[in-house]
Amino acid sequence: MRIVLVGPPGAGKGTQAAFLAKNLSIPHISTGDLFRANISQGTELGKQAKSYMDAGNLVPDEVTVGMAQDRMEQADAEHGFLLDGFPRNVAQAEALDAMLDREGMKLDAVLDLEVPEDEVVKRIAGRRICRNDSAHVFHVAYKQPKAEGVCDTCGGELYQREDDSEGTVRKRLEVYHTQTEPIIDYYKAQGLVATISALGQVDEVTERAMRALHGRG
Ligand code: AP5
Ligand code: ZN
């Protein structure tokens, strides 16, 4: 199944993607995680991305599209994928369509996670992620690690993302509304969008998502 996950910062895309990818046996491809891995490894790509991310802006398409394409080729897109954080504007959505067209492939669904803004702010303020892998995600109230400040999965140190400060979150939300939300209409025109509420327990949201995806693959 080929799925795009869309929703505001802090909606729970990474959290849900981990479960959905496992349930559906497809790779989870997160452009945010790829950028953070490049930053922690000190690569040229990471250096290019960092200032944009810290300011809450999108990394330029020239950098992002190539990185996403490389990762999808590596993942063998033919057998499906779950994209999290890509595409993030209409130009990226068009680039993805062109990429898939060249391979004779199509998306099966765009899962749109809906969460009120005050909840998003609470989720982001309490989020802590692992130094070793930004896909290891916790929350000080909603998903506490067994030992404070330590990742349950790998024992790494937990910290707060640089772009999770209040001012940057406001900027990221504005960027979401102006640049990312238009892709929902773009995909609605293709009949691909399934919108679900991302409120409630993590496993309830996963169940809702699995139901919404049922029969689309
Ligand atoms: P990215 O990493 O994609 O960030 P984002 O879209 O802002 O999303 P987040 O990672 O903040 O949130 P999430 O929805 O994954 O929520 P999570 O599961 O962690 O991008 C970061 C930056 O990279 C961008 O600003 C941009 O600069 C750049 N970038 C990335 N992709 C790009 C692209 N395509 N083009 C250009 N630039 C790009 O959950 C949040 C918290 O809530 C966690 O603590 C979690 O434990 C908790 N939680 C989750 N679900 C629940 C629940 N049901 N109940 C209670 N708590 C919950
Ligand atoms: Zn970890």
Q: Is the pLDDT of residue 130 over 90?
A: yes
Atom 8 in ligand 1: residue holding the nearest Cα: 9
Predicted confidence (pLDDT) per residue in 39-98, tens digit: 999 999 999 999 999 999 999 999 999 999 999 988 877 789 999 999 999 999 999 999
Please give the angle made by the CA atoms of 196, 106 and 1, to the nearest 5 degrees.
55
Percent of the chain with pLDDT over 70: 100
127-130, strands of its sheet edge to edge: 137-139, 127-130, 158-159
Rg of the chain on CA atoms, in Å: 16
Any residues with CB less than 8 A from the CB of 23 and at least 6 apart, and which?
206, 210
| Tens-place pLDDT, residues 146-168 | 999 999 999 999 999 999 998 99
Note whether residue 53 is domain-resident: yes
Amino acid letter, residue 59: V
Helix (H, G, I), strand (E, B) or coil at 159: strand
Q: Does ipTM top 0.90?
A: yes
Can you give the residue range of the structural domain that contains 40?
2-115+165-213
CA distance 29 to 71: 7
Domain presence at residue 137 = no
Is 42 labelled as part of a ligand binding site? no
Whether 127 is a known active-site residue: answer yes
How much is the pTM?
Answer: 0.96
Distance CA 10, CA 115 (A): 9
Residue 5 annotated as binding? no
**Domain assignment of residue 98, yes or no:** yes
| Residue 28 counted as domain residue | yes
Average pLDDT, the chain: 95
CATH of the domain at 68: 3.40.50.300
In a domain, 131, yes or no: no
**H or E element: which one contains 205?**
helix 202-213
Count: domains in the chain: 1
Q: Which residues pair with 4 in a beta bridge?
A: 83, 110
pLDDT tens per residue, range 91-119? 999 999 999 999 999 999 999 999 999 99
Distant-in-sequence, close-in-space partners of 189: CB < 8 Å, separation ≥ 6 = none
pLDDT score for 78: 72
State which of 5, 20, 35 you would mutate to test the pocket of ligand 1, scoring each by most atoms of that ligand within 8 A of its C-beta: 35
Does a structural domain hold residue 209? yes
Q: How confident is the model at residue 142 (pLDDT cuts 50, 70, 90)?
A: very high
Backbone phi and psi for residue 210, each to the nearest 5 degrees, phi listed first: -60, -40
161 catalytic? Reply is: yes
Q: φ, ψ for residue 189 (rounded to 5)?
A: -60, -20
Q: Are 194 and 213 in contact (CB under 8 A)?
A: yes
36 within a domain of the structure (yes/no): yes
